[in-house]
Amino acid sequence: MNLQVILNLAVAALLLAFLAVQQKRHASFTVRVFSALGLGIVLGAGLQLLYGASSEEVKVTGEYLDIVGSGYVRLLQMIVMPLIMVSIVSAILKLRNASSLGKISALTIGTLMITTTVAAAIGILMAKLFNLSAVGLASNAAEVARGVYLQGKLADAQALSLPNMILSFIPSNPFLDMTGARKTSTIAVVVFAVFIGVAAIGIAEKKPDHFTSFDHAVHVAHTIVMRMVTLVLRLTPYGVFALMAQVVSSSSYADILNLIGFVVASYCALLLMFCVHLAMVSASGLNPLRYTKKILPVLTFAFTSRTSAGSIPMSVQTQTERLGTPEGIANFAASFGATIGQNGCAGIYPAMLAVMIAPTVGIDPFTVGFLAPLLAIITVGSVGVAGVGGGATFAALIVLSSMNLPVALAGLLISIEPLIDMGRTALNVSGSIAAGTVTSRIMGETNMATFASNQELQIDSTSNA
């Protein structure tokens, strides 16, 4: 390790210490997260200005920052499956009503899939307004390599069908799925948790003593898991800082400028779809400005971490503690939203790619004959998209191969992929929260006193959560 890297890490340590001081002084969670975001951008920009994005100093510094950034993400991923398991079982035991469970599932999944269709339509509209096309785009070595990689993954995408996808939701080995071994592991764990909860309700009258003991055990497990969530979420500002510094320091501004049209069009689509989410929330009778303020911290984390699945713990806690959504609905929305109907990764992104790539094989993308099947494939294909890195790529492979378009051309966007993926992930999480919020309002379960309050997430050192 050379002197420059040591100095870089010393500066990073000082900035992390500043964030620690903020926490000791009980600055609000929102203030700490946005302070971390700003400091990460400043450090990342400074590193790139001093050394260059591809320099060894930036690379080595990034590897050490990755201990904080990726380490934080891994801690979140560690608690995702236990959180889903105990929270859903606990919620079902409280519901004691199978019909309510069915309504919650139908409303949540239906909202996620409908919004994905709307997101795809918005992506198509932006591609049209910005005249996006892959015709004539040059390829560098990295983009060619990425194209070859995508071509190699094509067989997996083509082998995927809706019946097979639905079948994959049923866990043959729930303990394997609790390791996150499959793309649909999150949903499989939800299904297993539902079975446990329904089975427990079934013995409530026949064996009340056994049910009471189980209910107590679940309550204890739930309390412990939520304490784990609290401990991990306290690290959010540090993780956001490190992740943002890495992204900014290693991004190629030249590549971004070369594909600036696609970047701008993508973010216009993302912002427009976020407005659709706010319109849904407003239509349900909630103040969209207050709602936005309450969900900003979790969207900021999703933006910097680029993981929908890793955002589940914070999403659940935001919905329950700040939006007044019952825990059962919040868990269903966050869990399903990390795998089904991702508005950014499975909606906007593959739609824009398909419209861009179609002209390269002589197809007019703006005809009913092209758009109708495209929207249908995107909606159906959005079921089972992984909530971690690579979900958008897999969604694009499904759509492009189904539309008989050259999948290798998707590699042309590799240089700006991280920049766009940040916005896509934030929109995915926004969509799942909006689905939970709307479902809660339709079911008449929202705690309006909680929504109206200015309460922060309970993750301070003084919290008993």
Residue 78 has pLDDT above 80, yes or no: yes
Alpha carbon distance 180, 365 (integer Å): 37
Residue 172 has pLDDT above 70, yes or no: yes
Third-level CATH fold of 3-452 = Proton glutamate symport protein (1.10.3860)
DSSP for 57-123, please give it. HHHHHHHHHHHHHHHHHHHHHHHHHHHHHHHHHHHHHHH--HHHHHHHHHHHHHHHHHHHHHHHHHH
- pLDDT for position 88: 81
Where does residue 451 rank: exposed (0-12), middle (13-18), buried (19+ CB within 10 A)?
buried
State what percent of residues in the chain have pLDDT above 70.
86
Q: What pTM, to 2 d.p., does this model score? A: 0.77
Alpha carbon distance 51, 7 (integer Å): 13
* Least confident among 3-7, 70-74, 348-352, 384-388: 384-388
The amino acid that residue 295 corresponds to is: I
Structure tokens at 47: 């590193």
Q: What would the pLDDT profile of 351-395 be if each residue is shown by its tens digit?
A: 999 998 888 888 899 999 999 999 998 888 777 665 555 567 777
Strands (E), 334-464: none
Q: What would the pLDDT profile of 242-285 be if each residue is shown by its tens digit?
A: 988 988 888 777 666 767 888 899 999 999 999 999 999 999 99
Structure tokens at 365: 């993308």
- pLDDT for position 118: 96
Residue 51 contacts residue 4 (beta carbons within 8 Å): yes
Structure tokens at 18: 């500043």
More confident residue, 406 or 174: 174
What is the rounded end-to-end Cα distance, in angstroms, of the chain? 41
Instruction: Band the pLDDT of 461: cuts 50, 70, 90.
Output: very low
The amino acid that residue 252 corresponds to is: S
Domain ranges of the chain: 3-452
Q: What would the pLDDT profile of 181-196 be if each residue is shown by its tens digit?
A: 777 787 788 889 889 9
Structure tokens at 48: 């790139």
Alpha carbon distance 38, 240 (integer Å): 10
Instruction: Band the pLDDT of 39: cuts 50, 70, 90.
Output: very high
Structure tokens at 404: 């008989």
- pLDDT for position 307: 83
Where does residue 104 rank: exposed (0-12), middle (13-18), buried (19+ CB within 10 A)?
buried
- Helices 56-95, 288-305: axis angle to 10 degrees equals 130
